[in-house]
Chain A
Amino acid sequence: MKPFLNLLRSMRFAVAILCVVAIAATTGSILEQSQPAVTYVSRYGEFWAAFFALCGLTDVYHAWWFYTLLGFMASSTTLCLWQNTPSMLRDMRSYRENKSIASLRNLDFHVEFQLPEQNRTPAGLASYLSAQGFRYKHTFTGGGSLLAARTGSARRMGYLLVHGAMVLICVGGLMDGQLSYRASVTIPEGATRNSGVIQDGDKVLQQQLPFALRLKRFRIEHYANGQPKDFTSDLEIIDGATELPVTLQVNHPYTYRGVTLFQSGFADGGSQVVLRQQGAQPQKIEGSIGKDTPLLLNGEPATLEFTELRAINVFSKEVQAGTGPAWNSQGRPGDHSRNVGPSVAFHLRDKLGQADDWLVYQNAIEIDGLRYRVIGHRAAQEREIRYLRIPLDADGSIAAYQRLVAALADPQQRASAAQEVAAHVGDARLAATLNATSAALLEGFQRQGYRALIALSAQHGDQAEAAKVAQLYEQLLERSAAALAQDLDPRLLHEALNAYDDALAMQLPALFTFESFNQVNATGLQATHAPGAPLVYLGCALLALGVMAMYFVRERRIWLHCAGDTLLLAFAANRNSPALRAEFDRHTDAIAQLVCTPTP
């Protein structure tokens, strides 16, 4: 036992345990902690996953061996304190006036002065020491009088504080390692909860709270750029008969009956949304976030899974191509940072279980002077979301676009439009060609979009020739389309054709617009209980005081021994440093001034 204790309190052991704890702590930051077991298996293979689990490496900071290491660190510190405190306290109070004259002469810093005849008992010494911040004691020893002085005893106090604080922090931390919990509590507006959940790897544990919480209101404040600024929850703590109103904010927690509540985030509490499925017979679809809504899609059963409702969407003008939302296959969002209004995201899952992602904006969005309805879509096998922007007519509806689409799909209307294009041409042969080309273009565009124009123009000679023809075809298509939908102004028509082309390229199975919503927020709270925290905080306070005392307070001792015609000045510090020489010289100078000539 004795050798073990000796080892435990040795400085070498202290250094070793500090290093070992440091290394142990790093492992936890390198290997991801508290993940579900499958994560480790898939990433490192079965052998290593089992090995990690066996060694507690998947949750280092709660592993028995980590606690053991911390325990060793605490006990080593405690032993050092136990051993050193009495002597340190003694030393702090002592002036070391019993040091022999010979041992004073052995100190690195000492000097002897020859006292002149008339000044055998120099008077100013004691007051010099006081002026320098020393406290002293006067004794008679070694055949003369001795002034033993010290300053900076607080340094030793610093040592005691620092090491005592470490013990407190370790004990508090170990306590919390066993007894503390941190549970997430999600409460929708108007709902009441009396428990939270703790996610621990694969397991989800339920943590009962000693009271219930009711969320009255949840607010999110935003910066002008749409970033969230603050979350605020107006809560009611219901504890038996008492109902206590509490407002929580980020960085402003509230503690009740040993449980501290923190605002940490937010979630959707089941907001209701209304979509409209556009088409021949528009259909209203109601649903709520987090829930599935069945619907019939082209005669087949499908499911809408609503995932996210955003009340505001702000885009800054500095959206780089590729990083931000590219609204369309051609073009970028508008020039100004602005709020484009609410959006809803959902998956559309077909009967085979394949799902594509949708992001539908509620409001008309103005881009370069025209207003659009924007719909984002990502098919299951695609990587990036693509945006369809449908130009709106004056009353803000997509009716004009839908009329164009319907007209394109109708062979009779296409034929009459082609005829109308050719009608103004006098030359009969030319008119017939124009009529045929126009009809072919409309028909091709209806099936394939602009790709059809390219395919048709590619039949005309080399590349340069084909490009020219393609341009002509595009103009002709727009003229034909104008004949098809005569109420559209040219720009709107152009955008509508683009939108139709995009819709074809994106292979949209249906067209949804976002009609209305009723947002229900849920607050994300954390409830923690840490009985060791007061110990840790006390330890922290002592630690801060202690390190400051150890750094800023310097311990110094001076002995002045007068015997006969010599005055011995000895000087010592707690730590050897090259700077001590200068300090000693300063004292020597000053005392030489007081007592005149020193011995050569």
Chain B
Amino acid sequence: MHAYFTRYSTTRAVRPGLLRSVTFLALLAGATCYTLLRFGADMDMFDTAILLTSAVGLAVMALAWHALQPLSLGAGLLSLAAISLYGKQLVAADHNFVLKYFLSSQSAIMWMGLSYWASTVLYALGWLRRKSGWLQLGTRAAWIGSLFGLTGLLVRWYESYLLGSDIGHIPVSNLYEVFVLFSFMTTMLYLHLEQQFGSRQLGLFAMALVSAAVLFMFRYGLGAHEIQPLIPALKSYWMKVHVPANFIGYGAFSMAAMFGAAWLLAGRPFFASRLPSRAWLDELSYKAIALGFVFFTIATILGALWAAEAWGGYWSWDPKETWALVVWLNYAAWLHTRLVKNVRGALLAWWSLVGFAITLFAFLGVNMFLSGLHSYGSL
């Protein structure tokens, strides 16, 4: 029987966020209209569709999650600043102080990595000492990292066009770029979860993973930091939707694995006192996998449609495709297992870790060890 305690409900005042949201929407609409009017002539039907969909998508997301408003606004302003500092000359990055040390994509991405590392350290301190002040700083650092990461990606997009109008493309085409995307996406997913769940106890787990990705990026990905023209098969609007959707999936699956690890650790008193209850960890893990599954499914479908257009068949059993299917089947099995009676949380937690290994192989291992049509992302 649920005991009911009388609560004093608060009277609803006009939400202070309302004005801000309206301003944000107005800015977003304005920016979209300006883009359409100014550059509409250079955009084809798909570009326009993608622009409008992204604008609407951002609006919806930013209304549901207000913290996205300052982030996207900040990244937009920083990118515009970078664009004006560049003055259409790529060499400006060599002698302009702000560009050289902060806003050129290379520097911004460096700052992203450093902020994510700082965030991990802060989360770790707060987590060990159980001090919410440190944890709060950890969240701040993660936001700053995301701001730099998003700016870095946007500026890189612009830089690619400075190399030549036919070379320009969305920065999701090589290992370095997708690692930035992965770090950014995973952090954003975590921050959203943190805000929804209202606890920062898992920050260390999520950001440790992101830090590892950043380390890998700095260690192995820097060789690919130079912007290269796309091979003909990649020159497609599909890339703009296929790759980001995939990385939401990868990010969510990785986070689910971290929560699975937390679930397993929560059996020890030291960890139990610093972690949410197992019921919550189980729930968060499920949420992450379900979200990842949705986006991974969509990304795989988009990939199949693209393959049909570029390679002549929606499915060629290319190693990347095969492993995408393996990842998909694995999480489909995971989701079904939750419905089987008598399956304990430990199995699912271990399984989410195994799933992470499979995801990692699909993401990196395929490019490292197997050959195939996706070989452009090779190390």
Contacts and interface: CB of A to CB of B under 8 A. Distances in A.
A78 to B, nearest CB: 16
A28 interface: yes
Contacts of B336: 11, 14-15, 18
Given A229-B232, A262-B311, A543-B297, A18 B329 contact: yes
A28 B4 contact: no
B6 A598 contact: yes
A551 B229 contact: no
Contacts of B4: 111, 588, 592, 598-599
Interface residues of A, number: 61
Interface string B302-340: 001100111111110101001101100110110011011
A540 B294 contact: no
Nearest to A546: B297
A230 B322 contact: no
B312 A110 contact: no
B229 A29 contact: no
A182 to B, nearest CB: 6
A316 to B, nearest CB: 10
A530 B277 CA distance: 51
B370 interface: yes
A530 B313 contact: yes
A250 B310 contact: yes
Contacts of B317: 28-29, 33, 61
A530 B298 CA distance: 22
Interface in A94-120: 108-111
Interface residues of B, number: 53
A29 B312 contact: no
Interface string B326-359: 1001101100110110000000000000000000
Nearest to B319: A29
Given A11-B340, A19-B330, A25-B322, A528 B235 contact: no
B340 A182 contact: no
Contacts of A260: 312
Nearest to A108: B2
A412 interface: no
A251 B333 contact: no
Contacts of B172: none
A24 to B, nearest CB: 10
A593 interface: yes
Most B CB contacts (10 A, CB to CB) among A22, A180, A530, A544 go to: A22
B33 interface: no
B47 interface: no
A313 to B, nearest CB: 17
A173 B312 CA distance: 15
B233 A251 contact: yes
A578 B325 contact: no
B313 A223 contact: no
B143 interface: no
A589 B326 CA distance: 46
Given A22-B330, A26-B323, A228-B232, A15 B312 contact: no
A459 interface: no
B contact face: mostly helix, strand, loop, or mixed: helix
Given A26-B326, A230-B235, A540-B304, A251 B310 contact: yes
Given A25-B322, A25-B326, A61-B317, A111 B283 contact: no
Contacts, number: 140
B9 A589 contact: yes
B313 A528 contact: yes
Contacts of B293: 547, 551
Interface string A387-424: 00000000000000000000000000000000000000
A157 interface: no
Interface string A194-235: 000000000000000000000000000001110111110000
A21 B336 CA distance: 15
A578 B305 contact: no
Contacts of B330: 18-19, 22
Contact of A227 (B2, B231, B305): B231
Contacts of A530: 313-314
Contacts of A599: 4
A288 B244 CA distance: 47
Contacts of A180: 313
A252 B283 CA distance: 44
Nearest to B290: A551
A90 interface: no
A405 B305 CA distance: 63
A12 interface: yes
A544 B298 CA distance: 6
A322 B201 CA distance: 51
Contacts of A589: 7, 9
A281 interface: no
Nearest to B301: A540
A11 B339 contact: yes
A28 B325 CA distance: 12
Nearest to B277: A578
Given A15-B337, A250-B235, A578 B313 contact: no
Nearest to A228: B232
B329 A19 contact: yes
Given A22-B325, A598-B4, A528 B312 contact: yes
The 3 closest A-B pairs by CB, nearest first: A262-B312, A18-B333, A22-B329
29 contacts: A11-B339, A18-B332, A22-B326, A22-B333, A25-B326, A25-B329, A29-B317, A29-B322, A29-B366, A30-B370, A108-B2, A173-B315, A182-B312, A223-B166, A228-B231, A228-B232, A231-B232, A250-B232, A250-B235, A253-B308, A262-B312, A264-B312, A527-B312, A528-B313, A530-B313, A547-B294, A577-B283, A579-B283, A598-B6
Interface of B: 2, 4, 6-7, 9, 164, 166-167, 228-229, 231-233, 235-236, 277, 279-280, 283, 286, 290-291, 293-294, 297-298, 301, 304-305, 308-315, 317, 319, 322-323, 325-326, 329-330, 332-333, 336-337, 339-340, 366, 370
